[in-house]
Structure 1
Amino acid sequence: MERLSQKTLLLGYAAFVFASIMSLSSWNLFYSKSINFTATMLTVMLVALAIISLLSDWTVKRIVVLLIFGTLLLIYFYLFKLTYMLPILLALIVGTGLDFKSILKYDFFSRLFSVLFVVILSLFSILPKSGYGADISDFHFTIFCYGFTYTNILAFEIGVLFIESLLVLKVREIYRVLLMLLITWLEIKMGYETGAVFCLVGYTIFATTKKRSTRIPNLYLMMSAWLVPFFSFLSIYVASNFSSTDDFWNRVNDLLSGRAEIWQYYYQAMPIKLLGNLQTINQKTMGVVGFGAFDGAFIQFLLTFGVASIFLIFCLFILTSTKKGHLSDKRILSIIILPIVLSGFTETNGFLVTFSPLYFMVSSYLFSVNKLGLKPVTDSRQESLEEVN
């Protein structure tokens, strides 16, 4: 029964990844009457997965964390109804019942299939391959790119697939290097320099965590955790001190692609609170500073979902760095988490459940018990550092 529920849960997770990618594509702009991949649909899928996950093994620790996540879920639903925090908390709940290493494999192959599916639809002109689509979406930054509504969305997903491929695909090192160079070049050609850095950081972590010691992966994980409050304070400092009449701050604003001015606009409109603010700014209004583009995970979470959301992420990352675990697991987490955290200063994508397996994997590592008959490795010498499973 346990094995059957785990397989069902993983297949359901793969379906959720597909629906997530479709929601990021331009499908809903043209075919919503057939299947509409809305936030409500994704939330319902996560609720269903959460119910299935209840069939997994239970521990006292899992009961406690489910009570915590469940309480936060009810609070945020009461305050804001459907927000990004609901899928995040549901993903954390689902993760407590998932096998850690299986998540990575199912996510990679489902995400790869889904991205290729959208791209192929665009090549057959079922979805737009290029062009400006603000007149259809009512959002200024809708610029179609091979089926997706914005170039950065596709570019970020390519970056996620690259770092997952380092862990899932068993190939010679020279092919990994060549793939890294190719993907980095592609990210730059797509105008997404953050994605190029994302890939370079991911490969650097992969290459520097091959020694039979958890010291370096733990260092990367601890760095990831403390970068959360650091970037949060830094983004607030930028938002509160930016001045359009100051040459220094104008250079900072240019370096951040206009984000300093946008951050200040939202910071003044949405004061920092424990549990965040109701969204009071219409992000589709053309007169809004930045035309509604509010990017940067740490300041966005801090202003929208409050100090509690940043504290939750910080605690989860601290726990991943301090928990004793297998070397291969620590390595996987460091390669997934640190690039997302570094990109999170200017990009929100990696911290949303539709873009990466972050929350599922962190929750599974911290709170899930052994699944699918996998026997824990107690001696690091028995682990293959090049294999995920």
Structure 2
Amino acid sequence: MDKNNLATKYSDILLGFIYAFIVFFEVMSLSSWHYLHSGFDSPNSKIIVSAFILIFIIGFLKNVKVLNLIIVSLLMALAAFYYIRYHEVGYFIMLLLALCAGMSMDFRQILKIDCTVRIVTILFIAFLSFINFLPIDGNNSSITGSYFTKFVYGFSYPNQLGYLIMIIGIEFVFVCNSMKLNRKFLVLAIAMAAEFYLDYLTGLLGILLFMFLYLWLSLPKYGTNKGNIIILLCLLLIPFFVFISIYVSTKYSSTDPLWNKLNQLMSLRFPIWQYYYNGWGPNLFGNFIDVGSKTIGVVGYGAFDGAFLFFLLKFGAFSLFLIWILVLTVFLTKKEVDNKIALASLLLIIVITGIPETLGFVVAYSSLFSLIGSYLFGENKNINQATIGLREQN
């Protein structure tokens, strides 16, 4: 093995180790650890920011690409603008950093590391709850200061664990590409049972939808590329869901029986959306909104779920436009088809669950934006076996 190949091998190992650290730290930060012990305070901490930047630097030194440097410079400038504007490292800045880091890594490497480390970290957190180092269950808002606290196996809220399980289920199916279809569906069925136990409807429906999607993907090929069909659907759904979110925020009426029924189905989110929309209207670069879940006297105690409206009001129309452009670029890019199908499937579930939940757009919960960065700008290695057992020409 020559020196260049040896250097590439060691740099890939180092990149994988740093990314694994990021995923571990972020999932640990989602647990109840920081309420009871020091450390793991925030998934948006300076440590994670530094680790993302370090990944890009190592990747750039391994393989110098002028285009990647230009793209990263623009994204970093945008991140700096948002940091200067808001004086915090918010979800959108982390999104940009994950995108940059993904450019330096192989698509399959990200997917495998992300899935593996999330599983191991969740099991570790659950173990800590079984030995009473972290709370295993119960409500205790006096510890967290949050009205919605409901401890579950080391996490502070069931939806945190539930969303992670949904993402892991999707990633697992594409990581274990050689596994038989019936065994993959068995894994998804177990994930659905976990969602049912947690009473997390979004995760339950997300996995169910993915099962139907994957079944369609597993059928004999016909027509145009299935990955592009899914991406095209996402391109249509994103502006549609933004419009629906705005429509609900402006038209919701608590005195209308139909609106109240729909509000019940959406776990009482509509008055919260209306409160934030009326208080901080949409603009290009967002508003200074202190979003929490412990604000007494505020509708919903300040909780604000719903990715499209949240990003529109908090980070501005530009943030959603950039996400849409990224998805469009994925649609237009012709690379490894199996990777596009895996990315498209994860994206579709996150977009659809983005109506009630913001979590899918949060880097700590999924590898989506790192995968987008890798697919668009990284050097992805071809795999010997198709992700879903089929190959199509892109």
TM-score, normalised with respect to structure 1: 0.92
- Partners of 1:265 and 1:106 in 2: how far apart? 40
Question: Cα offset for 1:142?
Answer: 1.4
Question: Cα offset for 1:42?
Answer: 2.6
1:63-116 alpha-carbon deviations (Å, 9 max, x no partner): 332132122111101101221122111111111111111100011111110011
CA 1:177–1:16: 2 relative to 1, 3 Å = same
Q: Partner letter of residue 294 of structure 2?
A: K
Q: How does 1:186-335 map to 2 (within 5 A)?
A: 186-210=194-218, 211=220, 215-280=225-290, 283-335=293-345
1:92 and 2:79 equivalent? no
Question: Cα offset for 1:172?
Answer: 2.1
Question: Cα offset for 1:131?
Answer: 1.1
**Which residue pairs with 1:124 in the alignment?**
131
Q: Partner letter of residue 180 of structure 1?
A: L
- Partners of 2:294 and 2:285 in 1: how far apart? 24
**Which residue pairs with 1:156 in the alignment?**
163
Question: Cα offset for 1:167?
Answer: 1.0
State which of 32, 39, 61 in structure 1 corresponds to 2:44.
39
Q: Partner letter of residue 247 of structure 1?
A: P
Query: Does the 8 Å contact 2:30/2:43 carry over to 1?
Result: no
1:149-201 alpha-carbon deviations (Å, 9 max, x no partner): 10111111111111111111232222222222232233123211111111122
- Partners of 2:310 and 2:75 in 1: how far apart? 20
Structure 2: where are the runs of 5+ without partners?
A: 1-6
Question: Could you tell which deviates more after superposition, 196-205 or 268-277?
Answer: 196-205
- Partners of 2:389 and 2:113 in 1: how far apart? 15
Query: Does the 8 Å contact 2:292/2:304 carry over to 1?
Result: no
Question: Could you tell which deviates more after superposition, 44-53 or 77-86?
Answer: 44-53
Query: Does the 8 Å contact 1:274/1:307 carry over to 2?
Result: yes
Q: Partner letter of residue 10 of structure 2?
A: L
CA 1:387–1:102: 2 relative to 1, 3 Å = farther
1:324-353 alpha-carbon deviations (Å, 9 max, x no partner): 122211211122111111100110111100
SS at match of 1:85: helix
Question: Cα offset for 1:281?
Answer: 5.6
Question: Cα offset for 1:363?
Answer: 0.9
1:344 and 2:351 equivalent? no
- Partners of 1:37 and 1:304 in 2: how far apart? 19
Question: Cα offset for 1:51?
Answer: 3.0
Query: Does the 8 Å contact 1:2/1:55 carry over to 2?
Result: no
Question: Cα offset for 1:118?
Answer: 0.4
**Which residue pairs with 2:109 in the alignment?**
102
Identical positions, percent: 35
RMSD: 2.0
- Partners of 1:97 and 1:251 in 2: how far apart? 47
1:174 and 2:182 equivalent? yes
- Partners of 1:38 and 1:307 in 2: how far apart? 24
Question: Cα offset for 1:39?
Answer: 2.7
TM-score, normalised with respect to structure 2: 0.91
The total of aligned residue pairs comes to 379
Query: Does the 8 Å contact 1:167/1:387 carry over to 2?
Result: no
